[in-house]
Amino acid sequence: MPPAQRILFLGYSSQETTLIAALEARGCVVTHSADKLTDFSGYDLIVSFGYRHIIKAESLHNAGAPIINLHISLLPWNRGAHPNFWAFVDGTPHGVTIHLIDEGIDTGAILFQKEVQFAAHEDSFALTHKRLITEIEALFIAHLDDMLLRPLQPRAQTGTGSLHRLADLPKDFPGWHVRIADYLRTHKK
């Protein structure tokens, strides 16, 4: 089976991620958009990474190609917004997940996943977020041939996990460069 040739990449641009170049290096023709789209037809694969819009059910059903999402949490934990923040605050596992998009928020079947442990020097939310981005990009590249050349082998998410919305971030949050230990010492539930 030939590799998927027409890829719609939603979210981060080629200046923000290495994944567009990785797809192009495999011979794919990549169209990028960060805009809110409703028509996803005409592509062999759709990748969402850093995309700020919800894809409506009708668009999902009419896409004609798998739509995958790259999420920086170990699903089903920390679905939705600010997953790195909530993994520390709630004491849930850290990781990265590539999953199919369905009608829920980060509830689609899992394709690939990796748990992530942080080193002592990765002591701020900004540094741990940067590491998760590196990990999800590495996971995507490691499984690129699986996504382009083979039928996808999704597995259902198990367990209830957790979900957080943008509005859940505390209003007094001092910013992403704060040391995690300092924040947790003064704000842990």
Domain ranges across the chain: 6-187
Which has more pLDDT, 3 or 54?
A: 54
Summarize the confidence of residues 45-53 as an average pLDDT.
96
Instruction: Tell me: pLDDT of 16 over 50.
Output: yes
Beta strand 95-100 with 67-71: parallel, antiparallel or unpaired? antiparallel
Q: pTM (2 decimals)?
A: 0.94
Instruction: Tell me: pLDDT of 2 over 60.
Output: no
28: number of Cβ within 10 Å: 20
* Sole residue written with tokens 């690939």: 112
Instruction: Tell me: pLDDT of 189 over 90.
Output: no
Q: What pLDDT, in 10s, does the model give residues 104-156?
A: 999 999 999 999 999 989 999 999 999 999 999 999 999 999 999 888 999 99
Q: Calculate the alpha carbon distances from 62 to 41, 49, 66, 93, 105 in Å.
A: 7, 20, 10, 34, 19
Instruction: Give the pLDDT score at 15.
Output: 96
Instruction: Tell me: pLDDT of 3 over 60.
Output: no
The verdict on whether omega for the bond into residue 76 sits within 30 degrees of 0, i.e. cis, is yes
The percent of residues in the chain predicted with pLDDT above 70, rounded, is 97
* Sole residue written with tokens 């999800």: 136
Q: What pLDDT, in 10s, does the model give residues 96-118?
A: 999 999 999 999 999 999 999 99
1 pLDDT band (50/70/90 cuts)? very low
* Sole residue written with tokens 């083979």: 150
CATH number for the domain running over 6-187: 3.40.50.170
